[in-house]
Structure 1
């Protein structure tokens, strides 16, 4: 991104039978200081606009508009046109193709960031594609180690492990993997949030952070040695902290982010503190990727009831990070 050019964002609706397409239509109605190019099926977007009774003017790729009601479009046709709330595994390839194409545009420098709507993991796998999440998909495509972070205006939560069965979590937390998570999170807080010397709170894995080994040894054998080593390198790290008290407002004021050991250790607290305003970021990619923090909400699709707040916040956050990266690039 150069000069005063607005950030160029790629937009992927996600599951075509869910609320993603209509959220994209609602996003397109917003005044904005960034451009949007959707990677989607035009008929699906138009059906969503018609259901909402909102204008939608699709422009050719390369002609992104800042005007409300307009979207540039890179057409990624669905195999079958979906009915609202009824996902079809035959469209799994289209969903994945749209994600890959938008990310490829970022890697080539055609876009400054990507904003993604909700996908349905079960439907994609039913379509014959092994898929654990968009975070993992984009990391593999870019050849990068990444970290999932969810954030709102109350707290930022990064995850040491993401989409794993609970009984596999302890084995997945190694000295190398935890150090990598902390390095990536620290670097992103500097580069993407403009925090010169961030402070990270690191949760323990076990109740009460292991009670000095009486409730598990992961804190003693893995987490504490990693924190000591990285503190010696100059990182500001607090912990390992008991997860049940780390999110108290009085404590959060002293942290720039919290690193949780597993998905449901940190994310329920974040979503309770402000679900509508929360976004999902993939840290460590060569471009900003920001997503909604909710699912496909199939039961709401086509009814005009889905709240676009998270997608709007995701686009705003993606544009802000893109602008900040520009100012920090020599």
Structure 2
């Protein structure tokens, strides 16, 4: 166990079940097997022990399973077994590669229980395994993804902001899971300003950056060329940047998207605020696909997640890499440890 869990005896991390028909079980099992070599903080899985044991057997992974009744019991067994905490909803057996809406209640309940445990202080952070949005929506799930649902669970007054983190780059998309055709209509000064403020607060509190530098991208090619290729920079982005500077934040831009991510440019900022999903995620995944972590800012609890999907095409084949989950667990532990010191100061 690393300093995130050993020095101050933080509560363990709560890891959700994710999509049972995807690679969630495999990457969880493999992450536990690599706990010592990667100095992982203590975590427990919200799932059913019998199905986790079946998954380990099918994959040929020697992972002892230990059922626990309370999160704090994870500390007593984590070195020797993967702690499993039941979340109260029985799920069906999963068929690799074939998600079923029948398992949606267990998946949703796992997220809800993790959030409750984090809010009550019984979990130091929430780490979410990937979900299959279509099967959840077929069941009636009314949210585009984890980020929006976590915002609802957090309660009124919380506006979640997605930040993707890798060793080489941090990015925030202002608009997220929407069609590209809708981005210009959804892009507002308020959304950009909220993302800037939330990012600055999080980088100070959770990443130890005293004066965060925020680069803001343009929406249009060449950042609009003074209005010749679109006016969003003039009418929306520039006024938002000016407002943030007036509040004392270190914000600059709009920077053309095609010049924002080369090595020298990345040295000039701590996070890049991008206008739409792929503008942010393509450079991050190109630079370091395996180690990307999804962090939700603006919540009253810490949440991280692997920056990849359920990988249904390789589910059950023993091919899944646990690296992004490992990085998610490590980052959640580091954030929790740093926050415990900042909040106590």
Same fold? TM cut 0.5: yes
Residues 233 and 2 from structure 1, CA distance in 2 versus in 1: closer, same or farther, beyond 3 angstroms? farther
Q: Does 1:61 align with 2:69?
A: yes
1:77 Cα deviation from its structure 2 partner: 4.1
Query: Which of 12, 19, 30 lines up with 1:26 in the alignment?
Result: 30
Q: CA deviation at 1:92?
A: 1.2
Partner of 1:148: 162
Distance 1:33 1:215 in 2: 48
Report 1:281-292 matches (<5 A).
281-292=295-306
Structure 1 SS opposite 2:289: helix
The alpha-carbon distance between structure 1 residues 68 and 280, as it changes in their structure 2 partners (threshold 3 A), is farther
Report SS of the residue matched to 1:87. coil
Contact 1:85 1:301 in 2 (8 A): yes
1:34–1:6 Cα change, 3 Å: farther
Cα deviation per residue 1:180-220 (whole Å; 9 max; x = unaligned)? Answer: 11100111111110000010110011111111011111110
Q: CA RMSD in A?
A: 1.6
How many angstroms apart in 1 are the aligned matches of 2:215 and 2:58?
Answer: 45
Q: Tell me, yes or no, if the aligned pair for 2:49 and 2:84 is still in contact at 8 Å.
A: no
3-state SS of 2:27 partner: helix
Report SS of the residue matched to 1:287. Answer: coil
* Counterpart mapping for 1:20-169 below 5 A: 20-29=24-33, 30-31=35-36, 32=39, 34-53=41-60, 54-62=62-70, 63-64=73-74, 65-143=77-155, 144-169=158-183
- 1-side partners of 2:51 and 2:295: how far apart? 26
Deviations 1:64-117 (A, max 9, x none): 033154224224544421111111111111111111111111111111101111
Separation (CA, whole Å) in 1 of partners of 2:229 and 2:80: 55
CA contact (8 A) 2:87 2:113 kept: no
Aligned residues: 330
| Residues 10 and 39, structure 1, Cα contact 8 Å, conserved in 2 | yes
Greater Cα shift, 171-180 or 30-39: 30-39
Is residue 2:16 matched to residue 1:4? no
Residues of 1 paired with 2:205 and 2:26: CA distance? Answer: 32
Question: Per the alignment, in what secondary structure is the counterpart of residue 290 of structure 2?
Answer: helix
Structure 2: 5+ residue stretches without partners: none
Structure 1 unaligned blocks of 5 or more? none
TM-score when scaled to structure 2? 0.92
State the SS of the aligned residue for 1:212.
coil
Aligned with 1:112: secondary structure? coil
Q: Which aligned pairs between 1:213-228 and structure 2 lie closer than 5 A?
A: 213-228=227-242
Q: Distance in 1 between matches of 2:79 and 2:162?
A: 32
For residues 198 and 174 of structure 2, what CA distance do their matches in structure 1 show? 11
* Structure 1 CA distance for aligned equivalents of residues 285 and 144 of structure 2: 21
Q: Deviations over 1:247-294 (max 9, x none)?
A: 011110111010111101110110010010110000111111000001
Deviations 1:129-185 (A, max 9, x none): 223100110011102111101110000001111111111111111111111111001
1:175 pairs with 2:189: yes
CA contact (8 A) 2:48 2:84 kept: no
State how far apart, in whole Å, the 2-side matches of 1:59 and 1:43 are: 10
